[in-house]
Each structure stands twice: as C-alpha cells, then as structure tokens.
Amino acid sequence: IYITRKVPEDLIKPHEDKFDVRMWEKAEEPVPREVLMEETRLADGLLCMLSEKIDEELFLASPNLKVVSNLAVGYDNIDVEAAQEHQIVVTNTPDVLTETTADLGFALLMATARRVVEANDYIKNNKWKNWAPYLLAGADIHHKTIGIVGMGRIGEAVARRATGFGMSILYHNRTRKPDAERELGATYTSFDELLTEADFIVSVVPLTDETHKIFNEEAFAKMKDSAIFINISRGATVDEAALVQALQTKQIQAAGLDVFEQEPISAEHPLMKLDNVVCLPHIGSASTETRTEMIELCLDNISRVINGEVAKTPVSS
Ligand code: 8YV
C-alpha cells in the first residue's frame, strides 16, 4: 500500500501484519508526480489526496493496482471511468466528515457575516481606541434566508444548523429532497431564484462538468448587494475573477472561502487583498477526530478490496 502523505503510525499499525505499507514522509509537502508514479508502480492499494491527479497514465503504469482510496468525499481528482476500465476500485470518505464540514461551513458563514477576522486583526493591530455605534458592524445571521446549492449530506447538515438560527432555508439540487423539505422546512427553488432570494448563498455542490464555474458574473449579478457567498465545495465551481469583481464593486457584500481554483492559493491573489473576504486553507473536514476516521476508512477500504471483499464506500462514474 502506498500513502501519499505522512499519516500517524498508530493508524497504519493494524494493517502492518498483512501489508507492506510505504508512505511519502512529508505531511505538508505534496508527493512529486515521478515519486507517485514509481511508488504506485508496484502497489496493490493507493491512499491519495485531492491534490494528486489520479489518471489513466498512472493506471497503465501500475499493473497490480486494485484500489485507489481518496482521503476526501469529493473525487474530482480521479478519472473514475478509466479506473473502472482497469478494474480498479475507487473509494471516498462520505459520512464521516459530514458534520465536521458543516460545522466549518457555518463557522465561515458566521465569521464572514460578523467580520470576526477583521475584528480580531483590529485589536491585535492596536486599532481599538474608542467605541462607535457601527464599529465593525456586520450582518445578522438569525432569521435570514440561507440558500444551499447542493443538498447532499453536507448540504443537509448545513441546513440543520440553519434551523437553530431560525433561518429560512432555500435549496437547489439535481433532485428534490422530500426529507429535507419535511423535516427541516427547506424549500426547493431554481438556481436563479435561490441567487435572487438568499441572504447567504452556500456552495456545497460537487465539482462536475455541470457545476464548473456556476458562480460566474451572471450569478453574482443576480445576488442581493447584501448577499454573502460561502464556498465549502470546490474552488472551480466559482469564476474567481468574477467573484473578485463582484466583491470589489460591492455587487455582493462579502465572501467566505475554504476552497480555491488553485490550491494552495498565493497570498498575492487579488482575493487576499479584500477586507470583505475570509479565507481558509481547505480545512472543511480538518478536525483531528474526523481526519482520523477518514484515514481509518481509507485503509479499511484498501484492505477489504485487496482481500477480495467489497469496499465499504466505493464510488462509480
Ligand atoms: C478533504 C474535501 O479531506 O472531502 C473532501 O472532498 O474537500 C476535504 O474534506 C481534503 O481536501 C483533503 O483531501
């Protein structure tokens, strides 16, 4: 088994009697493509991250490979169709990260609306000299309208949190979600209606050909000028140049972003120069508990497939 990042030894231990486990020893530095190719060449199982492109070239060079386990629920970095052609099982990490990612989505929404990061910098930069009625005044969250684009597991978990704030919930999804409508009072709308009506627009949608840059100039133009845009899905669902423009011209009020078109994003990127943007380095599922569960699930999937059993969480194209 090859693992493309350093993960805790105690998570590997239960598998070491059955498998020869090798890993890229650097936790934060990505594995170079040539090392990935060389290490996977002889591997039966691969545990990989979003930042690695897992494609046909790799499959062709790795005749023993039986399973690719992505440490993420999203798997837009993997050519699943090609994997299927090579009889390679692809797995992801659904469910275990749902609540953690929704927590972060809400943290980002609240930090953006109430200008938490700006306020923190304000004190630490020694700017707090006085009291003024509208000092760092943000936007209310309670009783507002949230529009969730992508009502999957994480979208529903975001909606559950919104009910605690007395928010009205709009959602847009490929299919209707009767349970969310009944239990959470969520209302299905068209994409355009959601953009027009919501105070908070939250992207939780998987990246596919249909969702690529759905948040573009036209979409931002439909939003209220008080709208706050939150992205916890994939950077490429957004046209970042259009977002920068919408924020600079105050066409929308603010944005909270956990994901970017290019990751890691540079501190020189125009988005980083804007006060009305809160940015995070793609940490949606990054709680210690959840990352441990994700790694355990990946290893369990790999172990099952190599042993000829069915994977717990396989994906299909
Ligand atoms: C990943 C994510 O864990 O699950 C996803 O799709 O985006 C995150 O939870 C992170 O990108 C590390 O691969």
Is 182 found in the same domain as 49? no
**Beta strands 45-48 and 67-70: pairing type?**
parallel
Is 85 found in the same domain as 44? yes
pLDDT value of residue 26:
84
268 by Cβ neighbours in 10 Å (0-12 / 13-18 / 19+) ranks as exposed
Residue 50 lies in a domain: yes
Q: Which three-class secondary structure state does DSSP give residue 300?
A: helix
Residue 194 lies in a domain: yes
Distance CA 110, CA 22 (A): 41
Q: Identify the residue whose C-alpha is closest to ligand 1 atom 1.
A: 72
Is 104 found in the same domain as 42? no
Task: Report the complex ipTM.
Answer: 0.95
Is 153 found in the same domain as 263? yes
Tell me how many domains the chain contains.
2
pLDDT digits (tens, 9 = 90+) for 64-112: 999 999 999 999 999 999 999 999 999 999 999 999 999 999 999 999 9
Instruction: Tell how far the Cα of 288 is from the centroid of ligand 1, in angstroms.
Output: 13
Is 242 found in the same domain as 194? yes
CATH number at residue 148: 3.40.50.720
Residue 315 lies in a domain: no
User: In the chain, how many H helices and how many E strands?
Assistant: 12, 12
Ligand 1 proximity of 283 Cβ (cutoff 6 Å): no
Write phi, then psi, for 203 (nearest 5 degrees).
-90, 115
Is 57 found in the same domain as 117? no
Q: Identify the residue whose C-alpha is closest to ligand 1 atom 8.
A: 72
Ligand 1 proximity of 47 Cβ (cutoff 6 Å): no
Is 262 found in the same domain as 115? yes
pLDDT value of residue 55:
98
Residue 316 lies in a domain: no
pLDDT value of residue 8:
95
Residue 292 lies in a domain: yes
Question: Which residue is associated with the tokens 């970017």?
Answer: 260
Query: Which atom of ligand 1 is closest in space to residue 93's alpha carbon?
Result: 4
- Which of the residues in the chain have pLDDT under 70? none
Is 267 found in the same domain as 129? yes
Is 8 found in the same domain as 29? yes
Is 124 found in the same domain as 167? yes
In terms of residue numbers, what domain contains 146? 98-279
Ligand 1 proximity of 49 Cβ (cutoff 6 Å): yes
Q: Which of 199, 238, 241, 244 is nearest to 219 (CA)?
A: 238
Distance CA 224, CA 82 (A): 42
Catalytic site positions:
234, 263, 282
Is 110 found in the same domain as 69? no
Ligand 1 proximity of 74 Cβ (cutoff 6 Å): yes
Is 299 found in the same domain as 225? no
Residue 128 lies in a domain: yes
pLDDT digits (tens, 9 = 90+) for 146-161: 999 999 999 999 999 9
Residue 26 lies in a domain: yes
Distance CA 141, CA 125 (A): 27
Ligand 1 proximity of 301 Cβ (cutoff 6 Å): no
Tokens of 160: 């559950």
Q: Which of 4, 91, 285, when mutated, tests ligand 1's pocket best, judged by the most ligand atoms within 8 Å of its CB?
A: 285
Ligand 1 proximity of 97 Cβ (cutoff 6 Å): yes
Query: Which atom of ligand 1 is closest in space to residue 75's alpha carbon?
Result: 6
Residue 299 lies in a domain: yes
Q: Which of 7, 282, 290, when mutated, tests ligand 1's pocket best, judged by the most ligand atoms within 8 Å of its CB?
A: 282
Q: Which of 49, 50, 101, when mutated, tests ligand 1's pocket best, judged by the most ligand atoms within 8 Å of its CB?
A: 50
Amino acid identity of residue 197, one-letter, is E
